[in-house]
Amino acid sequence: MSVQEPPVLHGKIGSLEHESPVRASILANVDKAFDRQVAFLSSLVRCKSLRGLERGVQEVVEAALRERGFDVRRVGIDRALIGKHPAFSPATIDYDETWNVVGVKEPEVAGGRSLALNAHVDVVPAGDAGRWSLDPFAGVRAGDWLYGRGAGDMKAGLSALIFAMDAIEAAELSLTAPVQIQSVVEEEVTGNGAAAMLHAGYVADAVLIPEPTDETLVRANSGVIKFRITLSGVPAHPREIGVGVSAIDAAFRIMSHLRRLEHRWNEEKGNHPGFPDVANPAALTIGTIAGGEWPASLPSSCSFAGRIGFYPGDDQHERVREFERFVAEAVEQDEVLRSCPAPVVEWVGVIQAGYALEPGTEAEASLARAHEAARSAGSSLGSAIMACYLDSAIFAVHGDIPSLVYGPAAENIHAIDERVNLPSLLRVTKTIALFVAEWCGTRSMSIK
């Protein structure tokens, strides 16, 4: 006859002062499974999950979560919420063939704090594949690096979430609070994937997002607005070029004026803690341009799209209005632009406030202990400002949830030869495993 022993509740297993076999077992199990983790990451990179093409990667994630016993659901994005719910941003596509995947595990014995583990699977285009050292969607390992579009931003982070949970289970521990793994879309464009999760009620006592941060914690991020401006010129034949205005030339004139707006917004950084050390927090980027109809005609139209950033605490809608006023004033002051039809400003992506993580939260303290305990030599958790959009803003600003952004070292994200550092990914996976165990609480599995 077997006797069932009572499960044992564990405390701060991330603490350096608590040299427990529990912590050692978690770390050992991360090591043991790391080759499988890298293979899984490679399979994710091989899914060419550009915008609107995320079905394949989401099916891989869905299968992986089901195999691990998660309650798995798909969460769609309702375009009807755009303009009505404050977390949603303007979109230029429908969402009929794209969705989020979420896996949920409920505890058998409740008592800890709930946690949402969030990662995005959408990636930006690879550009000219011929300029890459390796096929951008092959997911090839070379030494300490794994190459591919999305390898760093941020499929490595998603692999860390899944395999951190594996390590806890392999250590024969069960968590005492609900945990979600959210695999979301649209982070690179609108943030509407994360917004859909929040709107559907997938909230928790804390959120962890393993973006590639060089193993530091994001203290704050910029607010971001994404725009498209369409210029109409005065078309003309080359023999009458003096009476026309090139829409392409007009577009470049507007771009030049926008650099003044970027400079103006950058000058505000002294009013925001942490941002004086950021070289270009506004970071105006012109990402796409298209124009003209015929080589031997002054072009009638030209359109370009980009983004610009601002500061935590700023109202993103007031920044939108300020941008629109600036464009109108720039046109009024420019003799060439005044001779053309007024430009059209459209909002085609994320319109989101930034956020700042206040020091001293219990979530940060727990992550700091885990970060230090996951390293044999130990090291303090550093922090940094990121002048870009992060899905953490959705949960922090609109859900008032402590949102931790912390992940591995990666190079060339959004660029040629994107790659993630595998030793860093191993350390981050260990950190996340220890953090999840401490934050949610663990109990030993029943022994018969």
Q: Which domain holds residue 266?
A: 223-352
Q: Of the candidates 291, 323, 352, which is a domain's last residue?
A: 352
Query: Is 417 in contact with 219 (CB distance < 8 Å)?
Result: no
Q: Which residues contact 195 (CB under 8 A, 6 or more apart)?
A: 77, 81, 85, 87, 88, 89, 394, 398
Residue 154 preceded by cis peptide, ω within 30: yes
Check: CB of residue 255 under 8 Å from CB of residue 304: yes
Note the pLDDT of residue 367: 98
Mean pLDDT, rounded, for 130-155:
98
Residues 297 and 343 in one domain: yes
Q: What is the pLDDT of residue 448?
A: 35
174 located within any domain: yes
Average pLDDT over residues 50-59: 97
381 in any annotated domain: yes
Is the CB of residue 89 less than 8 Å from the CB of residue 151? Answer: no
| pLDDT tens digit sequence for 70-106 | 999 999 999 999 999 999 999 989 999 999 999 999 9
Q: Which of the residue ranges 13-27, 252-266, 295-309 would you say has the lowest mean pLDDT?
A: 13-27
Q: Considering the chain, what percentage of its residues have pLDDT values greater than 90?
A: 91
Spatial distance between the Cα atoms of 99 and 55, rounded to a whole number of angstroms: 8
Residue 375 is assigned to a structural domain of this protein: yes
* Total number of domains constituting the chain: 2
Tell me the chain's radius of gyration from C-alpha atoms. 24
Is there a domain that residue 286 lies in? yes
User: In 309-350, where does DSSP find H-type helix?
Assistant: 316-333, 335-338
Q: What is the mean pLDDT of residues 340-366?
A: 96
Residue 95 in domain:
yes
Q: How far apart are CA 143 and CA 145, in angstroms?
A: 6
Lowest mean pLDDT among 165-174, 192-201, 370-379, 393-402: 370-379
User: Are 361 and 291 part of one and the same domain?
Assistant: no
pLDDT at res. 445 = 80
Last residue of a domain, one of 335, 352, 369: 352
Report if residue 31 sits inside a domain: yes
What average pLDDT is seen over the chain?
94
pLDDT of residue 7: 44
C-beta of residue 168 within 8 angstroms of C-beta of residue 436: yes
**What per-residue confidence (pLDDT) applies to 413?**
98
- The answer to whether residue 3 sits within a structural domain is no
325 and 371 in one domain? no
Asked if residue 2 is part of any domain, the answer here is no
Domain identity same for 236 and 213: no
Q: What pLDDT score was predicted for residue 313?
A: 96
Q: Region 308-314: what's the mean pLDDT?
A: 97
What is the CATH classification number for the domain harbouring 276? 3.30.70.360
Residues 214, 71 within the same domain: yes
Residue in 313, 318, 447, 334 with CA at minimum distance from that of residue 393: 313
Contact yes or no for 233/250 (Cβ under 8 A): yes
Q: How far apart are CA 330 and CA 425, in angstroms?
A: 47
The mean per-residue pLDDT over the stretch 315-328 comes to 98
For range 358-367, the mean pLDDT: 95
Least confident of 5-14, 107-116, 149-158: 5-14
Tell the residue number behind the tokens 């139209």, with chain if given: 301
Are 174 and 320 in a shared domain?
Answer: no
Question: Where is the domain boundary, 317, 333, 352?
Answer: 352
- Could you tell me if 362 and 271 lie in one domain? no
Residue 11: what pLDDT? 56
Q: What is the CATH number of the domain that holds 209?
A: 3.40.630.10
Predicted local confidence at residue 111, as pLDDT: 86
